[in-house]
Amino acid sequence: MADPAETPLLAEVRALVAAAAGCGVDEVRPEGLLVGYGIDSVRAVELLDDASERFGVALDETDLRRFRTVGDVARCIAARRAPAGTS
């Protein structure tokens, strides 16, 4: 069951990670390590491409070094989607 405090953005990121990892969305936790879901460098690049396209934000390989968890990906996307002066 999803966390009632989960944002729609986090839910979508969890779904993208699940698709990349080949597992169920219910297995993907915000605090879960991407490598723990089998996200290797090739899958990580594909995940970034999918997330960039889905959310309309620029994500690149430099971001990979900062992303350890599913929540890290969601927080970065949220920050880049926020209008200037908010967050």
Q: What whole-number distance in Å separates Cα of residue 47 and Cα of residue 83?
A: 24
| 63 pLDDT more than 60 | yes
Q: pTM for this structure?
A: 0.85
Per-residue pLDDT, averaged over 62-70, amounts to: 89
- Which domain CATH number covers 16? 1.10.1200.10
- pLDDT for the residue 6: 81
Which domain does 54 fall in, by range? 8-81
| Residue 30 is assigned to a structural domain of this protein | yes
Domain count of the chain?
A: 1
Domain assignment present for 23 = yes
Q: Is 37 domain-assigned?
A: yes
Helix count and strand count (H, E) for the chain: 4, 0
Residue 87 lies in a domain: no
Tell me which residue has tokens 């994500």.
59
In percent, how much of the chain has pLDDT > 90? 76
pLDDT digit string (tens) for 4-30? 458 999 999 999 999 999 999 999 999
Scan for tokens 């979508």, then name that residue. Answer: 12
Question: Looking at the domain assignment, is residue 63 inside a domain?
Answer: yes
Asked whether the predicted pLDDT for residue 40 surpasses 60, the reply is: yes
